[in-house]
Structure 1
Amino acid sequence: MNIYLNEEEKLKHPYYKLMELQGADLENELNSWSRLDLIEWLCWNDRNGVYRDEDSLQEFGNTVSKELAIEIITKQIIQG
């Protein structure tokens, strides 16, 4: 099974498409996603991060809010 995506396949995948956005386009797209979708993206992009509710509660005593998820994603994309 091929786990690597070619450039055309990447452009069709919503997680990769998100990484191509900037500025207001990125902000608008992120705001249209649910909190759980944002957390799924964070887990996909940063496998070592603590984003899922059960992990975050155990590690930090709280969960990742939608606003914080958007902030983290924006930083990861800009710095990526």
Structure 2
Amino acid sequence: MNTFINEEEKLKHPYYKLMELRGDELEGELNTWSRLDLIAWLCWNDRNGVYKDEQSLQEFDNILSKEEAIEIITRQITQA
């Protein structure tokens, strides 16, 4: 099974397309996503992170808010 994705496929995938955005365009796009979509992206981008509600409650005794998820995604994309 081929696990690599070519450049053309990347441009079609919403997770990869998001990584090309910056500034107001990135923030605007993230604000249209649901909290669960943001968490799904975080889990995809950082498999070792604690983002899902069940894990977050066990680890930190709270869940990730939409605002926090947007902050983390923005940081991960702009500092990559």
TM range (shorter): over 0.9
- How far the C-alpha of 1:28 sits from its partner, in A, is 0.3
Give the whole-Å Cα distance in 1 for the aligned partners of 2:43 and 2:53. Answer: 11
Alignment of 1:1-80 (within 5 A): 1-80=1-80
Q: Which runs of 4+ in 1 moved over 3 A?
A: none
Q: Which runs of 5+ in 1 are unaligned?
A: none
CA separation in 2, counterparts of 1:52 and 1:79? 22
Q: TM-score scaled by structure 1?
A: 0.99
- The Cα RMSD (Å) is 0.4
Cα distance in 1 for partners of 2:24, 2:71 equals: 13
Q: TM-score, normalised by structure 2?
A: 0.99
The one-character-per-residue Cα deviations of 1:49-74 (angstroms, maximum 9, x if unpaired) are: 00000000000000000000000000
How many residue pairs end up in the alignment? 80
